[in-house]
Structure formats: structure tokens, C-alpha cells
Amino acid sequence: MQRPLLEVKKLNLEFKVFGGFLKVLNNVNFTVMPKEKVGLIGETGCGKTTTMKAIMRILGMTSARITKGEILFKGRDILKMNEAEVQEIRRKEISMIFQDPTAALNPVFTIGSQFRNIIKYSMLSKENLTKKEMEARAIEILEKVMLPDPKRILKSYPIQLSGGMRQRVCIAMALLSNLDLLIADEPGTSLDVTIKDQILHLLNNLVKEKDISVILISHALGMIKNITERTYVMYAGSMVEVAKTADIFNKPLHPYSQDLIAAVPKLTGEGISQGIPGHIPDYLNPPPGCRYHPRCRYVMPICKVKNPPFFKVNEVHQVACWLFKKGGN
Amino acid sequence: MRFIKLHVGFLKKGEIKLVNNNILTVKNLKKYFITQQGIVKAVNDINFSIKEGEIFGLVGESGSGKSTVAYTIAGSYQPTEGEITYRNQDISNESKKRSKELKKEIQIVFQDPGTSLNPARSIYQILELPLKVHGIAKNRKERTEKVKELLKMVELPEDYIYKYPQMIGGGERQMISIARALATNPSLVLLDEPTSALDVSIQAKIINMLIQFQKDFNLSYLFITHDLSLMRNLASSVAIMYLGKICENASSSEFFKNPLHPYTQMLLSSIPVLTDEEERLKPKKIKSAGEIPSPVNIPPGCSFHLRCPMKMDVCFKKDPVMVEVTRGHFVRCHLFK
């Protein structure tokens, strides 16, 4: 069997706040195979970005602490590495595209100087490139993300570009080195529909061309459907379901996945579902047992006591819900 | 719990002669802003009307001028030119020149509930203000009752009156904004992307609530959004805006069945959908290209020609006029004459 590229095992993470610990991540299990495109969906505040930041080790470590679990990247535990080793990984192997391209770019430097910095401190530094050569490299990658007039873009400041262009610049920066894993954290959320569509196509093509693994986080479930092969559903810091992307959207099994997918307005216009009653739990005192039980339609006594493990439905499809326990109903 | 609708201020004046059943008519509305870069034609000659008890959808990308339309109707901006008629009464003037009754009738809900609620006021104070201003409840006791009633209406617990906006979630904040808008028993509510900052599960809840209120209190909505799938489930007629102009205006069913303007087709084909059934409803793939140009430099001729896949020579020179293709279906494109 193929070894997974990234394996997150029983990750537990807390944030220290005034008055206690926010128990945000609760036994997160997550795998990405080499060259696999994985989707991750869930409501705001369910810990999607936190998990990704933990993988990149870019959480503010003063308030966040990982209490349990491991993050294996190519078989090595990222959590046990020293800073230099992590930097090496960030430099060469994992890149991240953030939700807000405006915040991801430094407003006081030109795009060109930011590119030069990245090239300088990435793996390309060995080649000792001159400024001109670095510029050529930047232009090459900017052309790949379909930006018109790359020379002008290198000279401009982020504020002089539109939102769509900024996101393209961020994608170009992420794809500069020959990476193995790209984490795209809601790459189109702050953009308009038509621009989002363009970014999505671009990302899809580039990823296919480079043949790398991708973790795509998005609220736009349609976007997930078009790009990914396998999708995880996350709720309140735990993975509740994983399946082939088509299965998640056609026959979701976990009550939360069902409610979430039903809440998306459809173009067919058959009305809008009632949404999900209640709200995401307070992480200071999360409910015992399954964290979804206060909002669940099928709640059973066991849900209030014990957190369900993953139950296998088929090869890929797994659900963390007591309804699917073998021998149960 | 239900509100009793009172149009006292209006009916007594005897001005109402319901010739047509439009609650709001916008005619040749223009709103220009003078900036250092030049004149921004945010809204440039638009026409539409909203019927009584209708949900009218206004769709467009950011920068298309849809919020400016809402603010002009609400009276925040003085229109540069054109006419806004509310129930046969001309209201093309600024908010400060409008009568109190009129302000009571037209209310607005903003996009970002984080900034539209004063962080230094409690929920009680926020909801009490419109009641005080419009003299809906006489004394403090009555007002407290009314505020509690409003909270109950948006399904929030009574003890929220002691809370402050930053203590509650984004969805709940938007509910408070909606409750504030409905506190004065309005007839027309302008909803400026009320759910775009929220999750789908919360969005579903708020939209359902809005539909319920619309039915219960016979409200008319001007619903602004960029989400066409949401519009499909909500509005009875839809207008698409691009760079300050309306390109297509039709009833919702006609609009989604038979989109005519290339921009509408581009918008519809770029919606990421979930099911195959929806995929079939989308027009055949039009590749989305380019971005909305700056409203300071609106391209000559048809403003969409830079991105249009079906552009002709005439599009570079002449701005098309609105034509009625089939009954009630208006489109502004040289392809239809």
C-alpha cells in the first residue's frame, strides 16, 4: 500500500484564553495520499484553518498548545522538528494560499521585491541568481497564472492590483518552488463569482499540470465538487465524515453533512432548507460525547456520553456517528 | 407576537390613489460621485419598479453600483438625476428632507452586522431607538415589552437585551439588524447582501425567517446579492447590474430559464453547483474572462464589450438601449433588436 504524504493522527489542540482552555481540535484524523486532491468543508469556527496552521506550524505557539497527537509528513513528525527543519519544509514542500490575498501580501513592498525575497530564501537560492534572472523567473510564473503585463505587476504595490489579481499573485508565489503539497484555504471566498470561477479554473489546471497533492478548504461546496477526489467534513474540531467527493454530495450519511449540504441554495429553486438549529458549541465547555448531539435530529442516549469513532461504510467512506455502528440501526 | 400593520400617517393624508400596484418606481436614476480621479458614475440611468409584496432581486459583482442604488433609495445619497417614487409620492430627495413617516416606511439592513450595530450600545438600546424616534411605544415599560417582542420574533432569547453586539455571533447580530429594521412596521425593506458574510446553515435560517416576515407583514423587499442560486429561491423578479447599468430585467422563472444577456450567461455558468440537475440548468459554458473595470473609466460603447464573448463592431461605439424581448423580459444588448 502507498504511504500517505501527510497523516494527522489524533490531533488535540487547545488555545489558552482568559478563564481556561478552548478545546478546539478534538482527535482530528486526516490523511492525504501523494498526488491526491482532498477537500475540507465545515462551518466557520469548526477548526479547518486551525488544523492547516498546525500542519504548517504557523499558529501563535504562545497561546496554542497541542496536547496530543502527531502530524506525519513523509513519515516524519512535524511537531517534533526544530524550527530550521520546519522552515525547510515550508520552503520546499508545503505551500499555503490564504483566504484574504490583501492580508497575505505585504503592503509596503512591491510585488517584485516580494517575489525576489521568496526566490532568494527558497531552494532557488543555491543557484545564486542575479536580480535580472530572478525577475525572469517571476515573470515566467506570473504568465502561468494568466496575469497580463507581468512587468508592470512586478513594479506595482499590492494596493494597485484588484482582488482577483492579488489572489493570482499569491497563487504564483505558492507555486514558485517544486512543492509536494498545496494548502488552499478558501482561495475564492472574498472574490466575485466570475473571478472565483477564473481562479478555480486556474488552480485546477496548475495543480493538474504540476501533479501535486492539494488540500482545498472552501465554503463554496460546488468548488470542492469540481476539484477534489475525497472530502472531509469537519464539525466543531472533529472530522465527522470522509468519503469520495461524489458520495459526500449525493448521499451524505452524517446528520451534520446532510444538514449542511441541504442548506446550500440550489439553482433549481425548490426552496431553502430550514438550516441547522442552534449554533456551534462553546469550545470552553464543549458538550460531552458527540459534539453535534445538541443539534442532531437523531440523537440517542449514547451520543451524549461517548464520542463516536469512525465507522466504515465502504473502502473510503467513514462516518463518525453512532447511527452507523455495525449491528445497530 | 404578530405586528398589526398601521399606515395611519399615510392613509390619512388622502394622497394614496393606487393607480398601479408598484410600491417603488425608479426612473432614469443617476448617481455620480466626484472624486480626485474623476467622476464615478456609480449608478447610470437605471429603471425598475417593485410591486407591492414582491421580493425584487438586484444582482451584480462588487463595484457594479447595487449598494449605491439601495443607499439612494434609503435617502443616504441625493440622486444626481432621476426620479424615485414611493407609492405615487416623489422621494428623490435626501433623507433629512424626508418626513418621519416616510423614514418609518423604508428601512434598510446592511451587509456587515459587525459594523452596522453600535458596539457601545446594548441590544436593548439598539432596538429601543427606532421605537423612541418614531414614537411607537410611549414609555419605558411599553418599549421594553416591544423590544422583547422583537427579540421573540427573531427567535432570540429575552435576556439578550443586556448583551452587546460583540458578545453574540454574526448570525445573531444580523437577526438584531433585521429586528431593528422591522421595529417601525415598514412596508419596504432594503436588504443589502444580508447573508453574504454568514455560513450557509445560518444563511438558510435567516432567509427562511425573512420569507416568513414578508408573508406575515406583507412586506416588499429589495434584495441585493451576488448569489444567483439564492436569488432563484427567493425573488420573484431579478435585475442584473453591470457598471451602474441594468443589463437584464425579468421575472425570476423567465430569467433562469432563458437568460439572454451574455453577462447573465457568464454569471450563471460560473456558479459552482452541486447536483447534475443544476448543471443541466446552466447555460452552456461561457468562459468568464476579465474583471469589472474601474467605474472611473467606463469603456465607450457597451460597457461590457471588454469581457463579452459575442462582441460585434457596433458594441465598441454605441451603448445599447433596453428592449423588451418578450413580455416583461428586458435586455440591454445589441444582439437583441
A162 close to B (CB below 8 A)? yes
| Spatial contact of A206 and A175, defined as CB atoms under 8 Å apart | yes
pLDDT at A64: 85
A273 close to B (CB below 8 A)? yes
pLDDT at B38: 85
B208:A275 CB<8 A: yes
Give me the phi and psi of A164, to 5 degrees please.
-65, -40
Q: Is residue B4 pLDDT above 80, yes or no?
A: no
The rounded percent of chain A whose pLDDT value lies above 90 is: 34
Gap from B118 CA to chain A (nearest CA, Å): 23
SS3 A171: helix
SS3 A69: strand
| A272 closest CB neighbour out of B204, B256, B281 | B204
b/e map A224-241, b = 16+ CB within 10 Å: bbbbbebbbbbbbbbbbb
pLDDT at B48: 93
A164 close to B (CB below 8 A)? yes
| B61 closest CB neighbour out of A194, A223, A265 | A194
pLDDT at B221: 95
Three cell numbers, residue B99: 418626513
pLDDT tens readout for residues A283-305: 888 888 899 999 898 999 999 99
Q: Can you tell me the mean pLDDT for A48-71?
A: 86
* A265 interaction partners in chain B (CB closer than 8 Å): 200, 203-204, 207, 227, 229-230, 232-233
| A279 closest CB neighbour out of B169, B200, B278 | B169
State pTM to two decimals. 0.83
A272:B272 CB<8 A: no
B226 close to A (CB below 8 A)? yes
Q: Is residue A251 pLDDT above 60, yes or no?
A: yes
A217 close to B (CB below 8 A)? no
The rounded percent of chain B whose pLDDT value lies above 70 is: 94
Three cell numbers, residue A220: 463554496
A269 close to B (CB below 8 A)? yes
Cβ contacts of residue B281 below 8 Å, gap of 6+?
A: A267, A268, B256
pLDDT higher at B12 or B264: B264
- CA atoms of B215 and A123, how far apart (whole Å): 62
Q: Can you tell me the mean pLDDT for A272-278?
A: 79
| B204 closest CB neighbour out of A164, A250, A274 | A274
B207 close to A (CB below 8 A)? yes
Q: Is residue B274 pLDDT above 90, yes or no?
A: no
* B237 interaction partners in chain A (CB closer than 8 Å): none
Cβ contacts of residue B120 below 8 Å, gap of 6+?
A: B164
- CA atoms of A309 and B169, how far apart (whole Å): 30
Q: Are strands A37-41 and A230-235 parallel, antiparallel or unpaired?
A: parallel
Instruction: Please name the amino acid found at residue A280.
Output: I
A268:B204 CB<8 A: no
Q: Mean pLDDT across chain B, nearest whole number?
A: 87
Q: Is residue A248 pLDDT above 70, yes or no?
A: yes
| A266 closest CB neighbour out of B208, B229, B272 | B229
pLDDT tens readout for residues B108-159: 999 888 889 999 999 999 999 999 999 888 889 999 999 999 999 998 988 8
Instruction: Report how many Cβ contacts below 8 Å link chain A to chain B.
Output: 127
- CA atoms of A208 and B224, how far apart (whole Å): 37
B47-51 contact pairs (CB < 8 A, 24+): B47/B246, B47/B322, B48/B239, B48/B246, B48/B249, B49/B22, B49/B24, B49/B25, B50/B22, B50/B23, B50/B24, B50/B25, B50/B188, B50/B220, B50/B222, B51/B21, B51/B22, B51/B23, B51/B220
pLDDT tens readout for residues A210-228: 889 999 998 778 888 888 9
* A223 interaction partners in chain B (CB closer than 8 Å): 272
| Spatial contact of B44 and B245, defined as CB atoms under 8 Å apart | yes
- CA atoms of A231 and A247, how far apart (whole Å): 9
Cα end-to-end distance, chain B, whole Å? 52
pLDDT at B17: 45
| Spatial contact of A35 and A3, defined as CB atoms under 8 Å apart | no
Cβ contacts of residue A282 below 8 Å, gap of 6+?
A: none
Instruction: Please name the amino acid found at residue B31.
Output: K
Cβ contacts of residue A77 below 8 Å, gap of 6+?
A: A70, A71
B229 close to A (CB below 8 A)? yes
- CA atoms of A261 and A43, how far apart (whole Å): 11
pLDDT at A179: 86
Q: Can you tell me the mean pLDDT for B293-315?
A: 87
- CA atoms of A34 and A211, how far apart (whole Å): 9
- Bridge partners, residue B41, by sequence: B32
| Spatial contact of A265 and A272, defined as CB atoms under 8 Å apart | yes
